Amino acid sequence: MTDDLKKAYQRLLDLTKEIHILNSTMSLLDWDEKTYMPKGGVENRGNQLAYLAGLSHEKFTAPEIGDLLKQLEGSSLLGDPDSFETANVREIKHAYDKLVKVPKSLVEELTRVTTIAHGVWAEARQKSDFSIFLPYLEKVIKLKLQQAEAVGYEKYPYDALLDDFETGSTIEKVAKVFADFRQELVDLVKAIRDSKKRPDPSILTRDFPVDRQERFGKEAARVIGYEFEKGRLDLTVHPFCTGIGPGDVRITTRYNPKHFGQAFFGILHESGHGIYDQGLDPQRWGTPGGDAVSLGIHESQSRMWENLVGRSKAFWKHFFPKAQQVYPEALGKVKFDDFFFAINEVAPSFIRVEADEVTYNLHILVRFEIEQSFFSGDLNAKDIPGAWNEKFENYFGIVPPDDAQGCLQDVHWSVGYIGYFPTYSLGNLYASQFFNQAKKEIGDLEDQFARGEFAPLKRWLNEKIHKLGQRYRAEKLVEVVTGKPLSHRPLMDYLKSKYGQLYGI
Enzyme catalytic residues: 270
Nearest to residue 143, comparing CAs of 157, 123, 127? 157
Nearest to residue 430, comparing CAs of 222, 239, 243, 272? 272
Q: What is the DSSP letter of 243?
A: E
Burial class of residue 44 in the structure, from the number of CB atoms within 10 Å of its CB (0-12 exposed, 13-18 middle, 19+ buried): exposed
Tell me how far apart the alpha carbons of residues 307 and 230 are, in angstroms, rounded to a whole number.
24
Q: What is the DSSP letter of 80?
A: S
Tell me how far apart the alpha carbons of residues 300 and 426 are, in angstroms, rounded to a whole number.
8
Quote the Cα angle for 352-356-360, to 5°.
Answer: 50
Question: Residue type for 105, please?
Answer: S
**Strands 248-253 and 241-245, bridge-based pairing:** antiparallel
Alpha-helical segments (H) within 128-201: 130-151, 157-165, 171-194
For residue 252, give the 3-state DSSP assignment. strand
Tell me how far apart the alpha carbons of residues 143 and 139 are, in angstroms, rounded to a whole number.
6
Q: State the CB neighbour count (10 A cutoff) for residue 291.
A: 20
Phi/psi class of residue 216: alpha, beta or left (left: φ > 0; alpha: ψ in -120 to 50)? Answer: alpha
For 295, the enclosing helix (H) or strand (E) is helix 295-303
Output phi, psi for 189, to 5 deg.
-60, -40
Residue 135 makes CB contacts below 8 A (sequence gap 6+) with none
Question: Residue type for 243, please?
Answer: G
Residue 172 makes CB contacts below 8 A (sequence gap 6+) with 155
Q: How many CA atoms lie within 13 A of 8 on its CB side?
A: 21
